Amino acid sequence: MSKFKIKKGASRITRIKLHVSIEGSIAVDLALMSEWSNNNKNYVVNELLRCSSPDAQFMASFPR
């Protein structure tokens, strides 16, 4: 798995809607990561998904 990096203040991205529910504890972690990196939560979620997407176990968890 690749090393996860978040660029500070780099949250200018093209967006599409992703309808999901996030557990409270994970939402708190996302808020902390976005505050620390000076990015919005959408950017942090996108970077987390981008980092994990090559992982076969992660991709196998989605229904086909």
- Whether residue 48 contacts residue 15, with contact meaning beta carbons closer than 8 Å, is answered with no
pTM value is 0.56
Across the chain, what does the average pLDDT equal? 76
CA distances from 19 to 2, 35, 40 (A): 26, 22, 17
For the segment 46-59, the average pLDDT, to the nearest whole number, is 72
Tell me what pLDDT residue 2 has: 57
Highest mean pLDDT among 16-20, 29-33, 36-40: 29-33
